[in-house]
């Protein structure tokens, strides 16, 4: 996969991901957030009440890292954790109402970053890009 050509798919994907990380970090900093906290809120917005271990898996972090992240987010009044009704060992994570206005602001930030990243691509090209990336992702999950 490593090639002398600087425009191989893995290298370009890495460079795009890195530029997105840098851009996102700069945009969420005024909100006193990190990219990881933003991603956590985005996941919970779609799947509120998932278990802390499921969240760790989606974020690709270990159990001690997710526990520290959840503690910091609870201290910020963004989330709360509740023991599962059927299994007290499982912690369910929920967005607090206090985080909802922040999520609305972050939606604007997301739209701005997406718009900048996809400038010059038609809607069809954007759909094609997403579908192709999903194929690559699924291939790597096999």
Strand partners, 79: 95
pLDDT score, position 7:
79
Question: Per residue in 68-118, pLDDT tens?
Answer: 999 999 999 999 999 999 998 999 999 999 999 999 999 999 999 999 999
| pLDDT bracket for residue 4 (50, 70, 90) | low
In tens, the pLDDT along 60-81 reads: 999 899 999 999 999 999 999 9
pLDDT at residue number 37:
93
Task: Supply the pLDDT for residue 50.
Answer: 96
C-beta of residue 95 within 8 angstroms of C-beta of residue 44: yes
Number of continuous H segments (helices) and E segments (strands) in the chain: 6, 2
Calpha distance 32→24 (Å, rounded): 12
Looking at residue 112, the DSSP 8-state letter turns out to be H
Indicate yes or no: pTM above 0.95.
Answer: no
């Amino acid at each position: 996969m490593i090639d002398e050509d600087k425009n191989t798919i893995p290298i370009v994907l890495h460079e795009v991901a890195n530029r997105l990380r840098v851009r996102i970090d700069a945009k969420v900093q005024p909100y006193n957030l990190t990219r990881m906290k933003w991603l956590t809120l985005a996941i919970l917005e779609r799947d509120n009440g998932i278990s802390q271990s499921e969240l760790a898996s989606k974020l690709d972090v270990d159990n001690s890292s997710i526990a520290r992240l959840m503690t910091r987010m609870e201290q910020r009044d963004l989330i709360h954790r509740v023991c599962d009704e059927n299994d007290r060992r499982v912690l369910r994570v929920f967005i607090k109402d206090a985080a909802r206005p922040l999520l609305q602001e972050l939606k604007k930030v997301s739209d701005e970053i997406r718009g900048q990243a996809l400038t010059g691509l038609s809607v069809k090209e954007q759909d094609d890009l997403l579908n192709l990336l999903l194929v690559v992702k699924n291939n790597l999950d096999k």
